[in-house]
Amino acid sequence: MEDKSSGLLRNQNIQRALQHIRDFVNKVEELIKNITVDDLINEGGINPYMIAALNISSMEDVAELFVYRRVERSLGTSFGNVIEAFLRDLLGGVSGKKHDLCKKGKGWICWWDIVIEGGFIDENGRKYKGRVLSVKSGPADVNKDVVEKFVDHARQALQNGYKPYLVLTYGKRAFAVAESTLSSHGLNPREHLLVGRDIFRVFLHDPGLYDRVIELIRGAGSQVNIFDLIEEKVRYITEELRKRYDDDVTKLLKDLS
């Protein structure tokens, strides 16, 4: 019998999912290569008050802070969307906004990040038409307001025959507020809150596939060392700043406002 890891490797869903990772890495490389001194000076790339408060006097330190901050911001704002798209393709789902019911004016389904069609009976003997998922990156992205909004939409999903899940793509468990808020609204966290490996247990029936997927993601990544690109860019920005401002951070700060 073929093991599930081998099957996953040849599965069309995982290949589509991995393409989101490849595209993301390529965009990160382009982002780093395209960073310029003008981004720092003319586009508010760095806060002069912070530089002064921290008493930063080295152009190299200014350049390093700027480049790492620019890359980190880009990663933080975009990777959540990437991993959501990755998970959607991995599980064979569609975005609620692209679902046929949404297009037909059934607004309740449009809110969901992932809709997985297919009737099933859960462990408690309840019948459903499919599953709907609200996806958050990790525990830090979930607070009481987020959970209460989920609860409102989850009730609509249940009324329409779909089982709702609040999904955290990584972590060992959610913060206690997520579990307590779900419970206070009559939703069992064990049924409706999935964290990390739970995703693979519930939807792919094997929590161990998490490790294999991580391996596949590593293999789909860039062969270029991102930190080498960053260090190269820091050296370039440093030299440009030194030329423009005679290696004087005070002159740079005056030009930042």
Quick check: 198 and 170 in contact, CB under 8 A? Answer: no
- Find the farthest-apart pair of alpha carbons in the chain and give their distance in angstroms, rounded: 74
Q: What is the pLDDT of residues 91-102, one digit of tens each?
A: 999 999 999 999
Long-range contacts of 35-42 (CB under 8 A, 24+ apart): 35/67, 35/70, 35/233, 35/237, 37/237, 37/240, 37/241, 37/244, 39/66, 39/70, 40/66, 40/237, 40/241, 41/252, 41/255, 41/256
pTM of the model: 0.83
Q: In what order do the strands lie in the sheet with 193-195?
A: 114-121, 127-136, 162-168, 193-195
Q: What is the pLDDT of residues 224-244, one digit of tens each?
A: 788 999 999 999 999 999 999
**DSSP letter (8 states) at residue 94:** B
Residue 112, classed as helix, strand or coil, is coil
pLDDT of residue 105: 92
Q: What is the pLDDT of residues 134-188, one digit of tens each?
A: 999 889 889 999 999 999 999 999 999 999 999 999 998 888 999 999 999 999 9
pLDDT of residue 223: 73
CATH class belonging to 96-203: alpha beta
| 4, pLDDT greater than 80 | no
12 pLDDT tier (thresholds 50, 70, 90): confident
Q: Distance of CA 54 to CAs 58, 65, 66, Å? A: 11, 12, 14
Domain borders along the chain are 4-90+220-254, 96-203
